[in-house]
Amino acid sequence: MNRFLGLQTFGEIPEPWAAEIAARGWGRVRVEGTNYAPIMAQCQKYDLWPLWILDRGEHLTCPSGIDVEIGNEHNAGCTREPGRAPWPKLAPIDYAAWVLEAWPTLLAAGCTVYVGAANNTSVSALAWTRDVLARLPYHPQLRVSFHRYPGGDQRPDVPQKGHSNIAAEDAAILDVVKGRRWAISEAGLTDTSFRDWSSWRYFGKRRTRLAVDGHRWQAARFKRLGAEFYCVYQLNSSATEHYGIRTPDGLWLAAANLPTLG
């Protein structure tokens, strides 16, 4: 069981999926919603450690003693599963106020709380996270989360917007957390086709950049940098979103074996 690698599964983990995830070595799942009992039962049965994304008010009802994350991508706002309202864009002062409202209850419940969950590690997203953290207490159970997506070419080794190179991006992340414990709670990559102009051998040849290779490189990068875990987005692809390690018709892709690849 690889506790460094997690997988986003949203609001359910049916028995066949939970068993398969565990068999392939995944040690964490990132979930959301209030379907607490069934999800916790699967986590306990298959030794999957949950990271629960909390909406407003859910700090009052979520299971005790688990890892939780306050909201999702509030630096920019984003859509959610069908039937759920989008995550709104929030100013740092408003997001921090939400965290401070939930923090005493979650601390008393023995939860480890991750905050931030900005949509990327660009200069602007890190500035938003820095502003949030400046408004919060320093505590070992109050930690930081980041998301990391590549550009359109699906190359994780290209720095996010505003950074001159990967080393500069890494240094900026560490400067924001300032010794707090932190994690990559959402990282998305897809298999993508491209024309390779890098050398005479491949000149113009169409090749495929595999998500599994990008995740291996990126997970190793963040582990070296000090991240507690790296959570892959996501379990299932859909007709319109192709980040999943499992296709809509149930085929498990190469990235499903990421925990066993070292």
Q: Do 122 and 75 meet the contact criterion of CB atoms below 8 Å apart?
A: no
Taking the C-alpha atoms of residue 38 and residue 15, their distance in angstroms, rounded to an integer, is 10
Q: Where are the domains of the chain?
A: 2-260
Taking the C-alpha atoms of residue 184 and residue 148, their distance in angstroms, rounded to an integer, is 7
What is the C-alpha R_g of the chain? 18
Taking the C-alpha atoms of residue 212 and residue 245, their distance in angstroms, rounded to an integer, is 9
Is 244 exposed, middle or buried, given 0-12, 13-18 or 19+ CB atoms closer than 10 A? buried
Q: Is the pLDDT of residue 42 over 90?
A: yes
Q: Do 170 and 131 meet the contact criterion of CB atoms below 8 Å apart?
A: no
Partners of 84 in the β-ladder: none
pLDDT in tens, 51-101: 999 999 999 999 999 999 999 999 999 988 778 899 999 999 999 999 999
Q: Is the pLDDT of residue 152 over 90?
A: no
- Within 10 angstroms of residue 7's Cβ, the number of other Cβ atoms is 27
- Distance in angstroms between the alpha carbons of the first and the last residue of the chain: 12
What is the pLDDT confidence band of residue 198, given thresholds at 50, 70 and 90?
low
Share of the chain above pLDDT 70, in %: 92
Q: Mean pLDDT lowest for which of 144-153, 157-166, 180-189? A: 144-153
Domain 2-260 bears CATH identifier 3.40.640.10: no
Partners of 8 in the β-ladder: 30
